[in-house]
Structure 1
């Protein structure tokens, strides 16, 4: 890991309209922030060593401070690290811009969420209803239109060409006129507003409706929105204009084709730099009480099947014990996996992008985002001792144990959750690092001898390696501390059954 000699803080000017770029100001190399940044960097560098990912771009906002960095190379062994001028295909994160414009139109009473969308369509669209229940603006925003097929044939054909790299920008044209014509033949086979089915048609129709009510081209509206937020390096449907700056991406080891979103690009056609996305994140957090920001993050639909709440094309809206209220959006193009998390109650946000969309790369991206980085952001300005322990353990288990013992009493500087440490043991167990997993669980039983769950976990690790004698000892100790520990009881029954079968 390269240690940072200078730590930077992005300060976004309060008046975004008058600012053409963000100021980059050197801040004090305070021990806590420097250690926080170095831990983040080390986790990113360690993830790169898995070999599944080319490069990461990361931005973290917390309590007025912004940290951003780049890791790896766009092309492996090419010495072309991403930088502030790199442009990323942010795919479905574009939908949140479209949703924001709709939220503004709703507040201005130009649109009503319960409007039948046929109010804004010219011609006969009698098919756009199910048993008298029409498709409304809200259904477009929440992917609950009730369509039998997620895409029309023409739209799907274009998307297939984009995915397989055969799309021709000159000859393969699909406009709003094509979509409106095909819309007359779609089938609505479910009551709108009842079933969640992620699709791109809704945002494109919303762009068309916004043109109707605002009497301006959608591209002009979105450009004005970017300028309001100071996002002067974000563009819609402009990949071909920025080929040299556009970050190449891979599907495993294979170079993936440039992405393209049909019609307006309202569902996924934006490209942006990391600093610009950081401005967007910071604006949403610092202006959380601004009417349109509150409206766009409001829950409009609950997907009961996946237990997910949807807003104005934002997803995963909820409230957590530590984070408070939060909402997020991910984007997956041919080349880039991206994600933005907004936690206004806890005053933090995270953006993470990776230029590889293989299953292994997306798994590494997800673990780096939510398992490694977010816990540290939640506890900052206290340093997350669980995260430090994980890094120390991977380098030297004895060092990890000693450091934890030395630091855990410093509750002013450090914070940790026993559950996070226990989960680390399970991560090792799931990775079949049995010896290391048992080392972690044994250490936790020694450090927290009154905690039944640590003994239960140790017993499970012994059970996996078929050391049933030690597993029983651990499970019995867990029950001694907590007679209601169900998992220990269940495992004891399993061991008894196995013992009888062998006898």
Structure 2
């Protein structure tokens, strides 16, 4: 009996050891299987996914787009609010260049006087803009009534109608109308207007258009040659057409002058390059982007420069962000300490889609433990 027990124990040890080795060797198979399972529920029609683990890259295109074809390396997607992390990277550069401080009054960089952009003598700062605690409205023009019991099939078209051709001058005029009702930094309130204001300030700081700043300081150094600010007629042919979960084709975002909140389109290969940058823990630009700005106000949850940061006891810190266009959902998670990153994007938008992408990213990360 003693010999049998020892043999059984040895067999179990061998099996467990083999499984542990396979978890690394079969990561590609695991990712592919998980993606296939996600597509079987019918809500998500297609997806592109890139995973980096210890420098090794895994990438897949799955499912069918609205044209009946699978996405591929040429497919462009609206990455929506992931654009904000690029804007945050530009802010990190401005901080490192000593052109701006996190707690500077943003009005120093505006062309007009804005006495309304303070509450009880406390102004809005760059820290507030990057953490969505400025108190600014969700969007300009500010029309909160359209979000009250909206028809989700129609809302994207209404937003586009409001924002089509929206100029910087109109943006500044809307900014004059803002009435803050609390101290900046006091409460979280998601603001695309705040991200665009940050982009506008960066333009004035560097005396260059936002598009040039993104190209010069991020896209060209990373050789992200298939990433663009805005949707041109030339690249529109490669843009994945988006759907909502009712299967209704959604419009791409309207053309407007300020695009720092969500105007970037990119492909899978380029977003993998961006993810590689975010895993460079010794890069001052990345360290500045990932710094914790809320000073422990929300316990384990923190914000970087438009990054969300989750600290879970002794486990490695998880840094993540998502993007939601009218017909596109994306998710990016990195764990620098474990040298792993996951980027997923699909041409479907809906309330449950981001949760499913987040779960898929977590499952992949857990598999590599």
Question: What TM-score comes out, normalization by structure 2 length?
Answer: 0.85
1:151 aligns with 139
The answer (yes or no) to whether the contact 1:135–1:192 under 8 Å persists in 2 is: yes
CA distance in 2, matches of 1:108, 1:209: 15
What are the equivalent positions in structure 2 for 1:113-192 lying under 5 Å apart? 113-147=102-136, 149-153=137-141, 163-164=156-157, 167=160, 172-192=164-184
What are the equivalent positions in structure 2 for 1:395-414 lying under 5 Å apart? none
CA distance in 1, matches of 2:142, 2:187: 24
CA distance in 2, matches of 1:129, 1:228: 38
2:4 aligns with none
- Per-residue CA deviation, residues 211-253 of structure 1 (Å, 9 max, x unaligned), is 1111111111111121111211100012544221001121121
CA distance in 2, matches of 1:215, 1:363: 40
Instruction: Say which SS state the counterpart of residue 301 (structure 1) adopts.
Output: coil
CA distance in 1, matches of 2:63, 2:268: 15
Q: Does 1:209 align with 2:201?
A: yes
After superposing the two structures, state which structure 1 stretch, 54-63 or 255-264, moved more: 255-264
CA spacing shift, 1:166–1:106, aligned 2, 3 Å: closer
Match of 1:271 among 265, 269, 272: 265
1:206 to partner: Cα distance = 1.3
- Per-residue CA deviation, residues 431-471 of structure 1 (Å, 9 max, x unaligned), is xxxxxxxxxxxxxxxxxxxxxxxxxxxxxxxxxxxxxxxxx
CA spacing shift, 1:242–1:204, aligned 2, 3 Å: same
CA spacing shift, 1:307–1:36, aligned 2, 3 Å: closer
Question: What TM-score comes out, normalization by structure 1 length?
Answer: 0.63
Q: Does 1:233 align with 2:226?
A: yes
What are the equivalent positions in structure 2 for 1:82-101 lying under 5 Å apart? 82-101=71-90
The answer (yes or no) to whether the contact 2:331–2:358 under 8 Å persists in 1 is: no
Instruction: Say which SS state the counterpart of residue 271 (structure 1) adopts.
Output: strand
- Per-residue CA deviation, residues 72-94 of structure 1 (Å, 9 max, x unaligned), is 1113xx54000011001000000
1:316 to partner: Cα distance = 2.8
1:367 aligns with 359
The answer (yes or no) to whether the contact 2:39–2:46 under 8 Å persists in 1 is: yes
2:92 aligns with 103
CA spacing shift, 1:291–1:305, aligned 2, 3 Å: closer
RMSD value over aligned CA atoms?
2.6
Match of 1:42 among 27, 33, 41: 33
The structure number with the bigger radius of gyration is 1
1:332 aligns with 324
Match of 1:66 among 57, 61, 78: 57
The answer (yes or no) to whether the contact 1:260–1:269 under 8 Å persists in 2 is: no
Instruction: Say which SS state the counterpart of residue 214 (structure 2) adopts.
Output: helix
1:102 to partner: Cα distance = 0.6
What are the equivalent positions in structure 2 for 1:376-391 lying under 5 Å apart? 376-377=367-368, 379=369
The answer (yes or no) to whether the contact 2:80–2:264 under 8 Å persists in 1 is: yes
1:31 to partner: Cα distance = 6.6
CA distance in 2, matches of 1:150, 1:262: 16
Moved segments of 4+, more than 4 Å: 30-34, 154-162, 302-307
CA spacing shift, 1:88–1:206, aligned 2, 3 Å: same
1:222 aligns with 214
CA distance in 1, matches of 2:329, 2:349: 6
Q: Structure 1 stretches of 5 or more lacking a match?
A: 1-29, 380-503
CA spacing shift, 1:239–1:45, aligned 2, 3 Å: farther
CA distance in 1, matches of 2:352, 2:192: 25
CA distance in 2, matches of 1:175, 1:264: 7
Q: Structure 2 stretches of 5 or more lacking a match?
A: 1-20
